[in-house]
A and B are shown apart, each in its own frame.
Chain A
Amino acid sequence: MSDPNATNPHSEVVSTPAADELVSLTPAEIGMSGAVILGERQQARRENWRLIRRRPAFIVGVFIVLVWVVCAVFGQSIAPHHAFDEYTTGHLSPRAGYPFGTDEIGRDVLSRVIVGARDVLKVAPLGALLGVLLGVLLGMVMGYLGGWIDLVLSRIVEAFLALPVVLVALLAIATLGSGTWVVISVVAALFTPIVARTVRAAVIAERDLDYVTSAKLRGESSGFIMFREILPNVMGPIIVELTVRIGYAVFVVATLAFLGAGPQAPSPDWGRQVSDAYNSISAGIWWTTVFPAAAIASLVIAVNLIADSVQSVLEGS
């Protein structure tokens, strides 16, 4: 340390009369401009991120999702038995060796549930992501451009929202087939209008702020203003929307599989399994239906736990 002045701890806060109010800017002081409580809110938000990681709901949600992600990634290699091999003749109730029991042709239900995680974890987030992307695009255009464009698109969106989900899904499958991409597209198409409405509302709140006027005054294009100026400021609701939608997507994908779209027999997909087995509930054979159904429920709940935590942080609980 040759120059003692270089590390003078006071060099940051020395005030010169000429520099009037802009002298000091330590993080502590940053929160202290204008109204006391408002200024504090900024710091509180950062603190909230630290708090969310200590939230039990968030931890439980992340843990369950991680369990299913591990199952989806490793699939057969961590399953106790082969998912497609027949081990017993006919049903066996849960017991040592087969903790979830076996199904009507003797396959291990636990292994099938583990292996079946892959389909839903691939399709649901993809569908949700696609739906959110399209929804953001549509909502941005509706909210920012406004006028008759908004009027026309809003009516279309409302009309779409009025259609029953299952009916739309069945129609799509009937006309387009039951491939994975059809399922993804159906999920995306179902979510686009919902997301668009949320984004539109957020954009309308931003559209009239002066920074947008200022961008117009320097000659920015509408595209630039929408996606470079406004988009970063509405990311909060979009992220919330994405997490919430992934939860719903799991549900929709499972429903579609139950109705016959997506993976076909003998796939161990959860919705497929429920669909294949639910008839035998009345005969007292509950385990072939309950375990895959519980898997669906646990994933939906876990994603929703995460979504709730994210929402309370981003929107201030």
Chain B
Amino acid sequence: MSPEVVPSSIATANAAALAVEVLEVVYTVRGIDRAVLRGVSFQVAPGEAYGLVGESGCGKSTTAYAAMRYLPRNGKIVGGHVLVNGNDVTGMSTDELRRFRARDASMVYQDPAQAMNPSVRIGNQLIESFTLLGQTKEQGAKSAVEALRRVRIADPERVMDRYPFQLSGGMQQRVVIAMALACDPKLLVLDEPTTGLDATVEAEVLDLVRVLREETNAAVLLIAHNLGIIRSLCDRVGVMYAGRIVEEGPSRQVFDDPQHPYTVGLLRSLPRKGVRKQERPLATIPGILPLIGGDLPTCVFLDRCPLADDLCRTQVPPVVPVGSEGNRFTRCHHVDRIPELVEAPPDVPIGILAPSAANPEVLELTHVSKTFRQRSISIPALVDVDLQLAEGETLGIVGESGSGKSTLAKAILGIESADEGSNVSLDGRQMSASTTSRSTADKRAMQMVFQNPDSALNRSWTVRRILMRTVEKLTGVKGTEANAKVEALAAHLRLTPRHLDLKPRQLSGGLKQRVAIARAFAGDPRIVVCDEPTSALDVSVQAAILNLLADLQAEERTSYVFITHDMGVVRYLADRIAVMYLGRIQEVGPTDDVFNGPNHPYTEALLSAIPSVDGEPTTRIRLQGEIPSPANPPSGCVFHPRCPRAIAGVCEVTEPPLAQVAPGHFMRCHIPIDELATMQRSTAAEAR
């Protein structure tokens, strides 16, 4: 590991609000120091936002924590410096460090609930941040109200009296940001600040950060795995891999014209620019991230790079400036060959079954409702859902938390029995509401892939046992015959025989999800319900799993109900999309119709809330208020209190029916489709 000096891009170390210089961090694991950061250098100017991207385990968060000297107990800085406002954080004493954290730098974490004391009122927590700075209680109280105003909280006095649990996630994160800004920090570090929030709430928080950045002139260091967020918020971006920044530059340029093989791979594995499964499979990055502390003498990306050759194996790649402005660099021996990667023809498209009306219908839901009862309150989680699913078709279900997506999945599978009067039919025959009373054939016909493979696979069973048991239970074959079937299934899912005798914890996240998919396919199901199957995975692994699902569908003619909050993923995989809000279907139709519009105002808002890595001009529709509680839904159209297009006197009175607006395209809206189309065209024109 040879320390190298990176050309300082914007400012000199002294003028920068944050300057990280050849930072090396190790984690001591069982007495051995393992390198996590291998010479990270970058600078952030006052008022500038700098993003770090990369897959999990590449060192983004470690960099952020090291900048605050908040490393976990077993982590230590073994080389380099961190300068905040010219002061060397790495050499500070405990006292100096405390003063530094109180006055010069603040950090906002992923989970706002953990950043607050649950038993202290918001007001008192905020006032404390100010009294720490030497203000009196009275001054602090005044400052606290001011701080809440600053983060656009409408009724600060009332919020001050609340406890954290009484606020929604978005409000909590605003309060945490208000606390972080209390000291007027020179540096604000945001570690995945919106990962736990819904899309429409996330959009609001990101808008807030954008505004505050201009107001405060603080330097912002943003860590996010979502490239769209980085693009929409950051001036410059550093792409990290295995503890090193492999490419850096203005975010627009880096994402539009990547110059490092890893950046290219990352961007190509995202489902973007409206690509569909029929067009091409997603690109993947072969191999896995090297172990922390692994020996990486030359290029850190060597093992997974399609361009790697003997030069890469023997020499540390140079820092190559990109462009003539001196604000971009990449670390690669073969910058000249990057265009090959970008233009590399994608793998041959898989023979996707074209969904057509001719395909027989396998699943039909009519009047499916589910009401949960909590003490004497009834909470309608699903209200009168009608849906159909054809053979070989993928139906995407989207919506924010509380929309009833997961309840719908459970009602279909019979994990939660739907209410009396609901009808879930397989091949035109009504099934029992609960799994336990369904026949083996019905159970076999429908299986599920869960969000989190760690929870979905029994950790004390081997892969073989998991698959064996499922094959035996669902197909009735036993012994060697079942074993042969398991091995065939594993081979089909590209699991090798030696994976079969491992336990889940010995597998990577992507492999675990493969095992979970293999289990779902063990009984040759007609329908597989996928509940956010890739949201716990890194993008390159997500690409492989989505390809696999598309592949399996093409071969087996399986139908998918695909639940997700990721619009890119659902656009890639789904043939039709249903948009849910408060347990009701607001819109359902062919994917292109739903995406291209005219679409339901809620769909429109949902789409415009998503920051895109491509930076296309998106309309900016921001929803007001919070998602209402399903226990107490608004009158009329349940979306009306947040709908920017609501018609006064109509929408709050009667609930619109789910009406057909185009062939196969249904919408629950009072506004006539032509009018909606005109409105949406003019909004889009304004945005441009």
Whether A233 contacts B458 by the Cβ 8 Å rule is yes
For residue A249, give the distance in angstroms from its CB to the closest CB of chain B: 28
B377 within 8 A of A: no
Contact: B473 with A29, CB < 8 Å? no
Nearest A-chain residue to B510, judged by Cβ: A21
Is A53 close to B, CB under 8 A?
no
B residues in contact with A219, CB < 8 Å: 435-436, 440, 443, 473-474
A33 touches B458 (CB 8 A): no
Contact of B289 among A32, A47, A210 (CB under 8 A): A32
Whole-angstrom distance between the Cβ of A178 and the nearest chain B Cβ: 42
Which residue of B443, B457, B508 contacts A218 across the interface (Cβ within 8 Å)? Answer: B443
> What per-residue 1/0 map shows which CB atoms of A82-105 lie under 8 Å from chain B?
000000000000000000000000
B647 to chain A, nearest CB (A): 43
Asked if A220 contacts B288 (CB within 8 A), the reply is no
Q: Are A233's CB and B460's CB within 8 A?
A: yes
Interfacial residues of chain B within 275-290, with CB under 8 A of chain A in the complex: 284-290
- Is there a chain B Cβ closer than 8 Å to A166's Cβ? no
CB contacts under 8 Å to B, within A27-86, are 28-37, 39-40, 42-44, 47
Within 8 A of A (CB), among B434-488: 435-436, 440, 443, 446-448, 450-452, 455-461, 469-470, 473-474
CA distance A15 to B507 in the complex (A): 17
Q: How far is the CB of B39 from chain A (nearest CB, A)?
A: 18
Residue of B nearest to A219 (CB): B443
Residues of B within 8 A of A220 (CB): 473
Q: Which residue of A lies closest to B506 (CB)?
A: A30
Q: Which segment of B111-119, B323-331, B379-387, B494-502 sits at the interface?
A: B494-502
Q: How many residues of B contact A (CB 8 A)?
A: 63
Closest to A45 in B: B505
Tell me the minimal C-beta distance from A76 to chain B in angstroms: 45
A22 touches B511 (CB 8 A): yes
A213 with B415: CB separation less than 8 A: yes
Q: Is the CB of A211 within 8 A of B56?
A: no
Could you tell me if A23 and B287 are in contact, using CB atoms closer than 8 angstroms?
yes
Q: How large is the interface on A (under 10, 10 to 19, 20 to 34, 35 or more residues)?
A: 35 or more
Contact with A along B18-59 (1 / 0, CB 8 A): 000000000101100000100000000000000000001100
- B72 sits at the interface (CB 8 A): yes
| Residue contact B291 to A28, C-beta cutoff 8 Å | yes
In the bound complex, what is the Cα–Cα distance between A16 and B286 (angstroms)? Answer: 8
Contact between chains at B507 and A216 (CB < 8 Å) = no
Cα–Cα distance between A54 and B447 once the two chains are bound (Å): 48
Q: A276 within 8 Å of B by Cβ? A: no
Listed by A's residue number, 6 A-B pairs whose Cβ atoms lie within 8 Å are A15-B287, A23-B287, A42-B506, A210-B455, A210-B456, A217-B448
Closest to A213 in B: B415
The answer to whether A25 touches B499 (Cβ under 8 A) is yes
* A308 vs B514: C-alpha distance when bound (angstroms): 39
- Check if B411 is an interface residue, CB within 8 A of chain A: no
- B residues bordering A, Cβ < 8 Å? 27, 29-30, 36, 56-57, 62, 72, 284-292, 294, 303-304, 306, 413, 415, 435-436, 440, 443, 446-448, 450-452, 455-461, 469-470, 473-474, 494-496, 498-499, 502, 505-511, 514, 519, 523, 540-541, 544
Q: Which residues of A contact B27 (CB under 8 A)?
A: 36-37, 40
With A44-B30, A211-B455, A213-B415 known as contacts, the answer to whether A32 contacts B448 (CB < 8 A) is: no
Contacts of A229 in B (CB 8 A): 458, 461
Contact A23 B288 (CB under 8 A): yes
Q: What separation, in Å, do the CA atoms of A17 and B303 have in the docked complex?
A: 12
What residues of chain A lie closer than 8 Å to B72, measured between beta carbons?
37
A30 to B512 Cα, complex, angstroms: 12
With both beta carbons as reference points, the residue of chain B lying nearest to A231 in the complex is identified as B460
B498: chain A residues within 8 A (beta carbon): 25
Complex: A15 Cα to B56 Cα, angstroms: 21
Q: Is A19 interfacial (CB-CB < 8 Å)?
A: yes
A175 at the A/B interface (Cβ < 8 Å)? no
How many angstroms between the C-alpha atoms of A18 and B547 in the bound complex?
Answer: 11
Given contacts A20-B510, A32-B290, A213-B415, 18 further A-B contacts (CB under 8 A): A16-B286, A19-B286, A21-B284, A21-B508, A22-B495, A25-B508, A33-B288, A36-B62, A37-B27, A39-B57, A40-B27, A44-B30, A210-B451, A210-B455, A211-B456, A211-B458, A217-B415, A219-B435
**Which residues in B have their C-beta under 8 angstroms from that of A43?**
30
State A214–B289 Cα separation when bound (angstroms): 30
Give A205-227 interface residues, CB cut-off 8 Å to B.
209-211, 213-214, 216-220
Partner of B291, one of A25, A32, A218: A32
CB of A232 within 8 A of chain B? Answer: yes
CB-CB under 8 A from A39, the residues of chain B are 57
The answer to whether B494 touches A210 (Cβ under 8 A) is: no
- Tell me the smallest distance from the CB of A209 to a CB of chain B, in Å: 5
| Inter-subunit contact A32/B511 (CB<8 Å) | no
Which residue on B lies nearest to A42, using beta carbons? B505
Give the contacting residue for B511; candidates A21, A37, A42, A233; CB below 8 A: A21
Find out whether the CB atom of A232 lies under 8 angstroms from the CB atom of B460. yes
Select from chain A the residue with minimum beta-carbon distance to B452: A210
Residues of A within 8 A of B469 (CB): 218
A36 to B303, CA, bound (A): 19
Residue in B36, B57, B450 whose Cβ sees the most chain A Cβ within 10 Å: B57
Q: How far is the CB of B406 from chain A (nearest CB, A)?
A: 11
> In whole Å, how far is A16's beta carbon from the nearest beta carbon of chain B?
8
Question: Closest CB of chain B to A53's CB: distance in Å?
Answer: 15
B436 touches A216 (CB 8 A): yes
A24 within 8 A of B: yes
> 9 shortest A-B CB distances, which residue pairs?
A33-B508, A232-B460, A210-B456, A210-B450, A20-B544, A32-B291, A211-B458, A20-B284, A210-B455
* Other-chain contact of B448, A35, A44, A214, A233 (Cβ < 8 Å): A214
Report the separation of the CA atoms of residues A24 and B290 in the bound assembly, to the nearest whole angstrom: 10
User: A153 to B668, alpha carbons, bound, how many Å?
Assistant: 49
CA distance A18 to B494 in the complex (A): 9
On whether the beta carbons of B495 and A218 are closer than 8 Å, the reply is no
